[in-house]
Amino acid sequence: MTSLRHKLALGFGGLMAIIAVMALLTVQQIDRLGNAIDVILKQNYRSVTASQAMKESLENMNRDMLFSFTGRHEAGPHNIVDSERRFRKALAVEHGNITLPGEKEKADRIAELFDRFVAALHGVMDDSMPIEQRREAYFRTLLPLLTEISSLAQQILDMNQANMNQANEAARLLAASAHNRILAAIIACAAVALLFSYQSRKWILKPIARLIDSANEIRNGNLELVIDTGSNDEIGQLSEAFNSMASTLRQVRRRDDEKLHRTRQATQEVMNILPTAIAIFDPEGRVDVATQSAIRFFGMKPGSDAGSLGYTWLPDLLRRAAQEGRAVETEGSGYIQKFIENREFFFRPAAVPIPPLPDSNGVTGTVLLLHDMTQAHEQKELKRGVVSTVSHQLRTPLTSLRMAIHLLLEQRIGNLNDKQAELLQTAGEDSDRLADILDDLLDLNRIESGRARLNLQQQRPDTLVGAGIEPFAAEARDKGISLLVDVPPDLPGVNADISSIGHVFANLLSNAIRYSPRGGTIAVRAEAELSGIRFSVTDSGEGISPEYLKHLFDQFFRVPGQDESSGIGLGLSIVKEIITAHGGTVGVESTRGKGSTFHFTLPS
């Protein structure tokens, strides 16, 4: 049986033979066309230009003679000499380019007549002769010679132009012949191609179509498929290789199924003894494997769909983890409240994407971890309650103490000496600082517990900035600090509690004034971002070391080396809680020796 290679060689060989013949004929026709065009351009064209040059030279000589009869100064023998030289040069070109019958005789006749013309011309141009004799000699001798020479030159020109037309017609006929031959070759090539295309359908396309259908069946999991080879050519050999591949795949699948079963059983056994609620979701959002606590407390049975479990946060959490390719947690406080056996529990969900296999896109699944944060939440609530209770209990005696110090300083009870007044003044300042600390603790406690109600209203950014810097304008002026405000008037409004944002500006501006040197500059700016409006306060102080920046908004954190009068480290944490309650973000950038920029963003 003929192999597929021989079939392809037969089809393509016929096409190549026709293409080779067509190429040979085309080259021959093009060469003949080139020769014809060469005749037109190289032979006849030179004779035509030579004839035209001779006629122009004769006309110039005739014009010069006529000018000499009128006494014009433009005429002169030197012009006639130049024209004579150009005529003889053109005549020499014509003698060297004789290509047509009778052309040589006419060129020789022109040479003879021109010699006679030149001999007679010198007599006519003799100024010693009377003008009447010169004119009579011109009309009797020179003009007939000039006319005959010009006529002969025109005849040579016409002969060559006629030959050029004939050569052009011959080239056109050659082109038409080449066109017909190429067209015939193309038709023959198309016929062979159609015949080969028809045969290739039987030889190649149908067997390949059977292979494609079989490959689709295998892709759908039908590894039991066996292909009928039907021939001994390469397609038949490919079919046999295909059958061998399917057999190998069946063996590999059996081994993989056994390995997967062992892995799943081992994973399930490990998951069963884990106390943490963990569930593994496949890329379609279905539970693949889950611990007993996840099944018991959250209903995450294997095969369950994330959207049908009743947790609105779950599908979005899985989607974010898959899209961002990193571990993500729920937004906001991050805690999920759950009542289990009449007891309140708090969990913090986290989704971790499973990396894809090599040379693949996307993720192969997502691991959901539900961290039990009940103890941490209870400790936080306990701390919050203790802080609130202690703060409230301290306020009453502290208020009495401050009143007593105030009355003593006013000397309503009795006179004080200088030392007593100094001690009471120090005690008053410390009691005021302690009262500010208690106020900060109570404010932070109210914000964290959610008892601080925000009166959110649409506010203009320039209004918020103006209200924030107004209380500090005098203090900055007294310290020689320039306050620069850059707030475009066309910024969109933001939803904000003007009192709380005023507290934010108060904290940031008081810090900026405290740490800026005399004569420094503080810039307050607002600009639009994708997430809202970004407010910033930039000072010209010494800056903050990079290792402390990430702790600035932590409670009770103070940068080492600060003055004790700067507080106990609650101001910026209160700022963070206020901005977070508004749904915004807060941050800081600083460079040692170049100042710091504190910024926060409010949604528009």
- HEC letters along 515-584: HCCCCCEEEEEEEEECCEEEEEEECCCCCCCHHHHCCCCCCCCCCCCCCHHHCCCCHHHHHHHHHHHCCC
Q: Given pLDDT bands bounded at 50, 70 and 90, which one contains residue 505? A: very high
Which part of the chain is CATH 1.20.120.1730? 4-195
* Confidence band for 62, pLDDT divided at 50, 70 and 90: confident
Give 50 or 397, the one with higher predicted confidence. 50
The topology (CATH level 3) of 274-371 is Beta-Lactamase (3.30.450)
> How confident is the model over 24-44, as a mean pLDDT?
62
Bridge partners, 367 (sequence order): 280, 352
Least confident span in 313-327, 377-391, 494-508: 377-391
Q: What does the mean pLDDT of the chain come to?
A: 77
Mean pLDDT check: name the lowest of 161-165, 274-278, 488-492.
Answer: 274-278
Q: Averaged over 371-398, what is the pLDDT?
A: 60
Mean pLDDT check: name the lowest of 61-65, 247-251, 550-554.
247-251
Q: Does domain 457-602 have CATH number 3.20.20.70?
A: no
- Tally helices (H) and strands (E) across the chain: 17, 13
The Cα-based distances of 185 to 84, 172, 173, 189, 228 in angstroms read: 58, 20, 18, 6, 41
pLDDT beyond 70 at 213? yes
Q: Are the C-beta atoms of residues 48 and 157 closer than 8 Å to each other?
A: yes
Please determine, for residue 543, whether its predicted confidence score (pLDDT) is greater than 80: yes
**What pLDDT shows up at residue 75?**
46
Q: Where in the chain is the domain with CATH 1.10.287?
A: 380-449
pLDDT over 90 percentage in the chain: 10
Residue 465 has pLDDT above 80, yes or no: yes
More confident residue, 564 or 354: 354
d(CA 255, CA 576): 57
What confidence category does residue 73 fall into, taking pLDDT thresholds of 50, 70 and 90? very low
- Alpha-carbon distance 254 to 275, whole Å? 34
Residues pairing with 120 in the sheet = none
- pLDDT the model gives residue 539: 93
**Higher-confidence position of 432 and 311:** 311
Structure confidence by residue, pLDDT tens digits, 343-361: 777 777 888 888 776 666 6
Q: Distance (Å, rounded) from C-alpha 586 to C-alpha 602?
A: 9
**Digit-coded pLDDT (tens) for 141-200:** 888 888 888 888 888 888 888 888 887 777 777 777 777 777 887 787 777 777 777 766
pTM (2 decimals)?
Answer: 0.39
pLDDT of res. 446: 60
Between residues 202 and 286, the one the model is more confident about: 286
Q: What is the pLDDT of residue 276?
A: 76
Output 212 or 539, whichever has higher pLDDT.
Answer: 539
Per-residue model confidence (pLDDT) at position 567: 59
Q: Decide: residue 146, CB within 10 A, 0-12 exposed, 13-18 middle, 19+ buried.
A: buried
Query: In the chain, which residues fall in CATH 3.30.565.10?
Result: 457-602
Q: Can you tell me the distance from the alpha carbon of 485 to that of 540, in angstroms, rounded to the nearest whole number?
A: 15
CA angle 198, 199, 202 (to 5 degrees): 100
**Could you tell me which CATH class the domain 4-195 is placed in?**
mainly alpha
Task: Name the residue with higher pLDDT: 345 or 12.
Answer: 345
Task: Pick the range with the lowest mean pLDDT from 102-106, 125-129, 237-241, 444-448.
Answer: 444-448
* pLDDT at 78 > cutoff 90: no
Highest mean pLDDT among 51-55, 192-196, 303-307, 522-526: 522-526
Distance CA 213, CA 209 (A): 6
Return the axis-axis angle of helices 206-219 and 234-273, rounded to nearest 10°: 10
Confidence at residue 599, expressed as pLDDT on a 0 to 100 scale: 94
Confidence of residue 2 (pLDDT cuts 50, 70, 90): low
Q: Please give the class, per CATH, of domain 380-449.
A: mainly alpha
Q: Which of 511, 520, 523 is nearest to 481 (CA)?
A: 520
Tokens 């420094």 found at: 520
- Pick the more confident residue, 81 or 404: 81
